[in-house]
Amino acid sequence: MLDELYHGKQLSWAAIAEELDTYPNRIRRIANKLGVKSRDKSDAQKVALSSGRQIHPTKGKQTSDETKIRISEAQGKVWDSLSEEDREVRSRIGKDAWDSKTDAEKEVFHLKSRKAIHIASKEGSKTERFILEELLAEGFSVQQHKEAILQNERFHIDLYVPECRAAIEIDGAAHFEPVYGEERLNRRMAADIQKNGLILSSGMVLIRVQLKQRPSQRYNRSLRDQLVEILNGVKQNFPEENKRYFKV
């Protein structure tokens, strides 16, 4: 009977005791003598949540931006403290997890990746959108994917700050690594050089942000701070021609 109530109906000892009009410890002692094993703390919590006897402590609660930043900074410090060997171990774990996926699972991942790239080409990457929102919050006027400003109409500027006459280009790995092969990398680099020349020759400031590590909230905040510093400096004293190209 106790086994059926506890494991079958997933009742707690307290609930069973209430049903039998006694107290939990007595039920637990009897169950122990009968060989009915109690759930550990983790399993007991899962059962309580799934049965609705308890409400998840964070369900429906909004995590504040301040808390998110603290969590992000803590995670970043943990990563920074890792040795190269530890990072290599984590990298191998990720590679092994990928290798263990079926061809169907990998294809689903590739489809999602292609969709994300397509969206990013129109709406900008997460980092680009983050920087856009943060610069707007800092009081800058920012235009995204500014067109019809360069002589070559094939090019648009990722983020353009009119008051500073500054073009901000957000470069993912495909701009400096052979992600899609050496030939496409060479074409991309040649296009970037041409674009640099058009931007600088038009009298604008050029800021190229190279995403050389996986973007995170902490990393994006660091980029924002660097960009704000550069833009404020440009506003105060527009630089000479040989000081208008910044790399971040």
**Which top CATH class is 122-247?**
alpha beta
Helix (H, G, I), strand (E, B) or coil at 77: helix
d(CA 115, CA 230): 33
Q: Which helix (H) or strand (E) holds 245?
A: strand 245-247
Q: What angle do CA 179, 106, 189 make, to 5 degrees?
A: 10
Q: DSSP of 101-135, one letter per residue?
A: S-HHHHHHHHHHHHHHHHHHHHH--HHHHHHHHHH
Going by pLDDT thresholds of 50, 70 and 90, the confidence category of residue 229 is very high
The structural domains of the chain, with segments of one domain joined by +, span 2-51, 122-247
The average pLDDT across 191-211 equals 91
Q: So what's the pLDDT on residue 136?
A: 94
Q: How are strands ordered across the β-sheet holding 157-161?
A: 143-146, 157-161, 166-171, 205-210, 245-247
Give the tokens for residue 139.
């009081």
The closest alpha carbon to 129, from 195, 62, 224, 245, belongs to 224
Going by pLDDT thresholds of 50, 70 and 90, the confidence category of residue 46 is confident
Sign of the dihedral defined by the CA atoms of residues 45, 48, 50, 53, in that order: negative
Specify the amino acid at residue 33.
K
d(CA 112, CA 208): 27
Say whether pLDDT at 174 is over 80: yes
Least confident of 23-27, 69-73, 168-172: 69-73
Per-residue pLDDT tens over the stretch 138-172: 999 999 887 767 766 677 889 999 999 999 999 88
Q: When comparing pLDDT for 51 and 190, which is higher?
A: 190
d(CA 169, CA 65): 27
DSSP state of 248: -
Q: Residue 117's CB: how many other CB atoms inside 10 A?
A: 12
Q: When comparing pLDDT for 85 and 113, which is higher?
A: 85
Phi, psi of 213 (to 5 degrees): -140, 165
